[in-house]
Amino acid sequence: MPLRRSLSAAAQTLALALALSGCAGGGGGEPLDGEQAWLTSCVACHGVDGRGTYQGPDIVWGISSLSVEEVVEVVEFGVGDMEPVTGLTEEEVDNVANYVVDVLRASVDQ
């Protein structure tokens, strides 16, 4: 778990953001396949666009420096106040991580 120890403040922000009630995985999924898992497991806290709600923080800016593997680790193990997310298959976790990194990160550039 050395990678977990090296997570930056940005990773902790993402972790808090993903800490809703159900995202977890491994690192090779399809971003568009991750949208459904995002919508059912992550939106309640992080909002449709990842900008947060009263239940969870904005994760969009924090993900700009994270790899898919780091997002997966945050989801699987939690960080800071975020508990590990449960209820998704490894494939769903990979897909959600790719969705977060590829699709939501793109919104930072817009």
59 and 18 in contact (C-beta within 8 Å)?
A: yes
Contacts of 18 (CB under 8 A, 6+ apart): 42, 45, 46, 59, 71, 74, 75, 82, 85, 100
Domain ranges of the chain: 2-109
pLDDT, one tens digit per residue, over 5-35 is 433 444 444 444 444 333 433 445 666 788 9
Q: Which pLDDT score is estimated for 70?
A: 93
pLDDT, one tens digit per residue, over 20-74 is 333 433 445 666 788 988 898 888 888 898 888 888 888 887 777 889 999 999 8
Q: Which pLDDT score is estimated for 60?
A: 82
pTM, rounded to two decimals: 0.68
Residue range 2-109, CATH number: 1.10.760.10
Q: What is the Cα 76 distance to its own chain's centre?
A: 10
Amino acid at 18: L
